[in-house]
Structure 1
Amino acid sequence: QNVDITPREAVRRIGDELSVLCKVPYPIDSCRMTVGTTSYRLIPDNLQGDVVYAGQGLKAGECGALIKNIKEEWNGNITCVLPPPSGSIELVGTMRLLVARAPGVPILNSPQQPSFMDGDKFVAQCVVPNGRPAAKITWFLGSEELLHGVHQPVVTSEPGSDLQTISQNVSRTLTDEDDAKKLVCRAEHEALEKPMEVTRQLHVQYPPKRQESGPITIFGLKLGAEGRLNVTVRANPKPNAEWSVGDQVLIAPRQAGEITALEPLLLGNGYYNVTLILARITKEDVDRTYYLRVDNGLGREEFAVRISTMDEPAGVELDTGAIVGIVVAVLILLVAVFLAVFAFATDRWCFAGRSHRTDIPDGADSEAPLPPHDDIKGSENPSHDHGDYISNGDTKHPEKKPDTAV
């Protein structure tokens, strides 16, 4: 006979409560439960103490306990002892209680170099020591959880200790998008009020990268007014800027006459604003193409920039109602085409009578002409003139009768 015990395993913090139920399919007259090193005789009417009876009664075969104010020393097995249905050998059921113990501070192991290059392989390890049970590790890069490149965790413990240390690796090919982001190892545990974190700021160097392809046109400038040619570029480290205006080459920062090339301005997250100022725009300026070259030692990017006194063309934007209308119209068109094809194939509706089929007796000439329409429909047309016919050779002509005087 087996004892049904629930739960089989539980994790509780110090001071929490736990309900354990042992059950057999026959009435019992006694119930004992061992918690830690102490054996408790549980009586349904005695509800005093930290371990008291809980259940539907001994007659229902239930030996349950409500364990209050869990203590550190209660970590381990909890055993219930019930009398057998016959004989003298008592029945025993056992469950495992893990009294949660908070782990130590997480440790982040990673390469010691201060910065990395675009395309470098990066490996880091997070270790959360001495928890009961093992902590749970979650990786983040910036505000996004890392799901790819996360290895299986490894749980170890010292001989003779039930405390567990968990470690987990993460590997990643770094890109410019990873620059200035924080790599976060977050440790969660039942004994912690809030997660613990350890972080490392990533610094990734990469050549200048343009934000849009092809030539750049700056709209909305006015003749006779100041004009600013702004180009946004992403780079780390900071790029140098060189403008070519006709025969002039301006390495920022520099001013030549009415043209000023400003030093690249950091906008944040590796974005720089590269600006050329024209003090007074002329028609010649509008007709000219300006060339910008940015270089930070890791690579270079070149831009062709033009200016326009016209307003920037508005993009075609459709609201939700217009999109729904287009979809409905397309569906109606498809249904109409389907119905037309169906009617044509089955000689229905406006295609009825498109062809005529006549049953031809076996052995008849399949190329014989169809009978005249009047011969087919004559019996159905009461207004048809059935006059006498005069035979002339093979042709019959209706005989005209003389008018009769009245």
Structure 2
Amino acid sequence: MAVVPAFFGLLLAVIVSGQNVEITPREAVVRVGGELTVLCKVPYPIDSCRITVGTTSYRLRPDNLQGDVVYTGQGLQSGECGALIKNILDDWTGNVTCVLPPQTGSIEIKGTMKLIVARPPAPPVLETPPQASFRDGDKFTAQCIVPDGRPAAKISWFLGEEELLHGVHQPILSSEPGSDLQTIRQNVSRTLTDDDDNKILVCRAEHLALERPMEAKRQLIVQYPPKRQEFGTITIFGLKLGAEGRLNVTVRANPRPTAEWTVGDQVLQAPRRTEAGDFVALEPLPLGNGFYNVTLIVARVAKEDVDRTYYLRVDNGLGREEFAVRISTMDEPAGVELDTGAIVGIVVGVLIVLIAVSLGVFAFATDRWCFAGRSHRTDIPDGADSEAPLPPHDDIKGSENPSHDHGDYITNGDTKHPEKKPDTAV
């Protein structure tokens, strides 16, 4: 009879040894001083619950809730061995192991999860090309390095208020031998434009152990030739004869442009005035973000001033732009503004016209509706059978000189008699 208990003990040992511990969570990242709940579970009652955190092993009991590591769960009879780990320390990074021995037998099974105690990284470092400024169209590459975080920090890129999503390379992680601290590196590439001028490039590092993100910055200076904001001839409206007039032209450039006005045969390099003082060219006035206001003052607007064209040339060493400027004593024409209803009405009207034209073309091509009978003869005498076939073209009388084959009829009383008119030479 001693064989039976031995058999069941062996069977239980086989079953227990084949069990896996269900452990939740498998991995966790927690700040120093934070809390973590780990639950290990098997589908049979257990004799005890042991948890190893760091280098210390804890024997946990449901009736003892004192200390930094205490029991949590539905009880040993439910096969649950849970631990509430309070006030996590930095050196607890590593594996958390639970040991669950069965109520009978000597085989214990274990479950392990990975605990990462977050450590803040060092401040980010932004590496960029050494030159102080760039040109419109230059290829620009920068690298952000955030060292010694646990786990690695997260990097985000911003240019001005816009987050950069295009041109961002895959991050690269590295660590020193024997260290669990990670350094992250990430590059960003971009073709610079005039819109990037004076914007600030930001590398932002975020990490669980940081109260707020850390940033590394650099302002980009992008130089570009003058660029006009209006195309074609510029007309300045609203000037009055006999009063002062100002011709204002807005241009964008970096570096600052110079301005040269041509009035008739006079050339004014700003800032300068004519000898008579009737025209004054002002120095370009910066408006911010690379915009400049270039102004020519007409001391007293006369009729000949309205009739002429003024020419402006701006240059900043990288390029030049030329403008033709006219002035007018009329008010600037108001733009036509259409609300949504008017726009919808116009679109519907256009569609109706297109449909009507299409139907008309279809009817004309297929002899339908109002175009029906368009190809039938109209010179059939009264009482003739309209269904009779037309005679062959060659049998028509007068075909030798068809332009003189008249189909006119002379009315005599109630009877119509066809009158044959003599042919006349052509």
TM superposition score category, shorter chain reference = 0.7 to 0.9
Provide the C-alpha distance between the structure 2 equivalents of 1:332 and 1:87, rounded to a whole number of angstroms.
Answer: 90
Provide the C-alpha distance between the structure 1 equivalents of 2:61 and 2:351, rounded to a whole number of angstroms.
Answer: 75
- 1:325, CA displacement in angstroms? 5.2
133-142 or 49-58: which moved more? Answer: 49-58
Code of the residue aligned with 1:302 in structure 2: it is: E
Query: What CA deviation, in whole Å up to 9, does each residue of 1:284-310 have, x standing for no partner?
Result: 111111100000111000001111111
Q: Which residue pairs with 2:107 in the alignment?
A: 89
Provide the C-alpha distance between the structure 1 equivalents of 2:184 and 2:202, rounded to a whole number of angstroms.
Answer: 16
1:158 is matched with which residue: 176, 179, 185? 176
Query: What CA deviation, in whole Å up to 9, does each residue of 1:181-238 have, x standing for no partner?
Result: 1111000000000000010111111111111211111111111111111111111111
Code of the residue aligned with 1:125 in structure 2: it is: Q
Code of the residue aligned with 1:201 in structure 2: it is: Q
What is the SS of the residue equivalent to 1:94? strand
Code of the residue aligned with 2:284 in structure 1: it is: P
- 1:29, CA displacement in angstroms? 2.7
Q: Which residue pairs with 1:196 in the alignment?
A: 214
What is the SS of the residue equivalent to 2:335? coil
1:258 is matched with which residue: 278, 298, 305? 278
Code of the residue aligned with 1:71 in structure 2: it is: L
164-173 or 313-322: which moved more? Answer: 313-322
Provide the C-alpha distance between the structure 2 equivalents of 1:107 and 1:155, rounded to a whole number of angstroms.
Answer: 15
Task: Name the CA shift for 1:8/1:240 in 2 (closer, same or farther; >3 Å).
Answer: same
2:27 is matched with which residue: 9, 16, 19? 9
Superposition RMSD in Å? 2.4
Identity %: 79
* Contact kept in structure 1, 2:47 and 2:103, CA below 8 Å: no
1:34 aligns with 2:52: yes
Q: Which residue pairs with 2:193 in the alignment?
A: 175
Q: Which residue pairs with 1:388 in the alignment?
A: none
Provide the C-alpha distance between the structure 2 equivalents of 1:324 and 1:80, rounded to a whole number of angstroms.
Answer: 71
* Contact kept in structure 1, 2:279 and 2:297, CA below 8 Å: yes
Q: Which residue pairs with 2:402 in the alignment?
A: none
> What is the TM-score of this pair, normalised by structure 1?
0.80
Q: Which residue pairs with 1:206 in the alignment?
A: 224
* Residue segments in structure 2 that go unaligned for 5+ positions in a row: 1-18, 364-368, 373-386, 388-426
Q: Which residue pairs with 1:226 in the alignment?
A: 244
Q: Which residue pairs with 1:235 in the alignment?
A: 253
Provide the C-alpha distance between the structure 1 equivalents of 2:338 and 2:183, rounded to a whole number of angstroms.
Answer: 57
1:272 aligns with 2:311: no
Q: After the TM superposition, list the runs of 4 or more consecutive aligned residues in structure 1 that deviate by more than 3 angstroms.
A: 84-87, 320-338
Provide the C-alpha distance between the structure 1 equivalents of 2:211 and 2:179, rounded to a whole number of angstroms.
Answer: 24
Q: Which residue pairs with 1:309 in the alignment?
A: 329
Q: Which residue pairs with 1:391 in the alignment?
A: none
* Residue segments in structure 1 that go unaligned for 5+ positions in a row: 345-350, 355-368, 370-406
Provide the C-alpha distance between the structure 1 equivalents of 2:239 and 2:339, rounded to a whole number of angstroms.
Answer: 30
Provide the C-alpha distance between the structure 2 equivalents of 1:86 and 1:324, rounded to a whole number of angstroms.
Answer: 83
Count of aligned positions: 346
Provide the C-alpha distance between the structure 1 equivalents of 2:352 and 2:67, rounded to a whole number of angstroms.
Answer: 77
Q: Which residue pairs with 2:233 in the alignment?
A: 215
Provide the C-alpha distance between the structure 2 equivalents of 1:152 and 1:89, rounded to a whole number of angstroms.
Answer: 47
What is the SS of the residue equivalent to 1:150? coil
> What is the TM-score of this pair, normalised by structure 2?
0.76
- 1:56, CA displacement in angstroms? 1.9
* Contact kept in structure 1, 2:118 and 2:150, CA below 8 Å: yes
Task: Name the CA shift for 1:56/1:232 in 2 (closer, same or farther; >3 Å).
Answer: same
Code of the residue aligned with 2:201 in structure 1: it is: L
Task: Name the CA shift for 1:329/1:53 in 2 (closer, same or farther; >3 Å).
Answer: farther
173-182 or 79-88: which moved more? Answer: 79-88
Equivalent residue runs for 1:55-204 within 5 Å: 55-84=73-102, 87-204=105-222
Query: What CA deviation, in whole Å up to 9, does each residue of 1:145-168 have, x standing for no partner?
Result: 111111111000000000000011
What is the SS of the residue equivalent to 1:293? strand
Code of the residue aligned with 2:291 in structure 1: it is: Y
56-65 or 82-91: which moved more? Answer: 82-91
What is the SS of the residue equivalent to 1:27? coil
Provide the C-alpha distance between the structure 2 equivalents of 1:290 and 1:206, rounded to a whole number of angstroms.
Answer: 25
Provide the C-alpha distance between the structure 2 equivalents of 1:61 and 1:284, rounded to a whole number of angstroms.
Answer: 103
Query: What CA deviation, in whole Å up to 9, does each residue of 1:354-381 have, x standing for no partner?
Result: 9xxxxxxxxxxxxxx8xxxxxxxxxxxx
Code of the residue aligned with 1:103 in structure 2: it is: P
Equivalent residue runs for 1:369-384 within 5 Å: none
248-257 or 22-31: which moved more? Answer: 22-31
Q: Which residue pairs with 1:283 in the alignment?
A: 303
Code of the residue aligned with 1:225 in structure 2: it is: A
Equivalent residue runs for 1:314-353 within 5 Å: 314-323=334-343
What is the SS of the residue equivalent to 2:106? coil
Task: Name the CA shift for 1:82/1:324 in 2 (closer, same or farther; >3 Å).
Answer: farther
Code of the residue aligned with 2:160 in structure 1: it is: G
Code of the residue aligned with 2:333 in structure 1: it is: P
- 1:105, CA displacement in angstroms? 0.9
